[in-house]
Amino acid sequence: YYNTYGLYCHDVFIKISTWLTTMVALVRYIVTCYPIRARVWSGLQPIRCVIVFSYVAWIILCLPLLWSYKIDKYHLSNSTDTLYLIDLGYFSTQYNFKTAMTYIYFVIGYLIPVTILAFCNVCLISSLRKSQKTRERIGNMSSSASTVSYRKTNYLTLTLISLILMFIILVSPSEVVYFFSQVAPSQVYRLQIVILITNVLQAVNFAFHFVLYSAINTSFRQTLLQVLSTCFGLR
């Protein structure tokens, strides 16, 4: 069952994660570069809508992957045992349909998000440098409260910049190799080791999110401590 339906679950969560990261970067870009217009995005309601839309959209778009494989059941003669074999499903045998969906998944699920992320990253880095230069010119004229707020904002922006760079460096190889393996299935056997390596890089990317949040974001550490204290009755 895992081999039959695992591809669907894997792709759905990868695409959802990619688009949520993209939406966070886009909103952060708007808040940083266009703070007045960003008031439209203020509040939790738009964020909830984006999360729900991302889940629903990719759950529906990836539905054809459920028919990538099928399970054939055979009753063995002169025996009460049953043999289960995994065979290619309808989606895998329809070459034109599968190729078209592969291109759609690649463009919507990777190419557009990575383009948005790269653009937002350049703008955020530029904004962060301008902010630091402005801060240096102001010097000690600002209050301590303003300084704390400024540092928190910079830490948040720096965290997002790091996440975007990690995504581009660690996730991009896996997406590109997977796309190539789908459009040129005859070459898959030559890419087995490359696929394994890029999958490891992709896993490292998501695993290091927690490490990055913990290392850079003070608010994340405090919130995590509060959650653990509540769960385990600590004070």
pLDDT in tens, 149-158: 556 666 667 7
pTM score: 0.76
What kind and span of H or E run contains 83? strand 82-88
Q: What residues have CB less than 8 Å from 109, skipping those under 6 apart?
A: 11, 14, 15, 18, 19, 58, 175
| Segments in the chain below pLDDT 70 | 36-44, 132-156, 185-188, 233-235
d(CA 165, CA 160): 9
| Spatial CA neighbour of 73 closest among 59, 64, 83 | 83
Q: What is the pLDDT of residue 111?
A: 92
d(CA 125, CA 119): 10
φ, ψ (nearest 5 deg) of residue 23: -65, -40
In Å, how far are 4, 65, 81, 170, 215 from 73, measured between CA atoms?
Answer: 14, 21, 11, 40, 51
Q: What residues have CB less than 8 Å from 233, skipping those under 6 apart?
A: none
Residue with tokens 């530029």, as numbered in its chain: 126
- pLDDT tens per residue across span 58-115: 999 999 999 989 888 888 777 778 888 888 888 888 888 988 999 999 999 999 999 9
d(CA 233, CA 226): 10
| Spatial CA neighbour of 68 closest among 45, 92, 39, 85 | 92
Residue with tokens 């975007």, as numbered in its chain: 164
d(CA 156, CA 194): 34
Dihedral over alpha carbons 96, 100, 103, 106 (to 10 degrees): -110
Q: What is the pLDDT of residue 138?
A: 62
Q: What is the pLDDT of residue 194?
A: 86
Q: What residues have CB less than 8 Å from 92, skipping those under 6 apart?
A: 67, 68, 69, 98
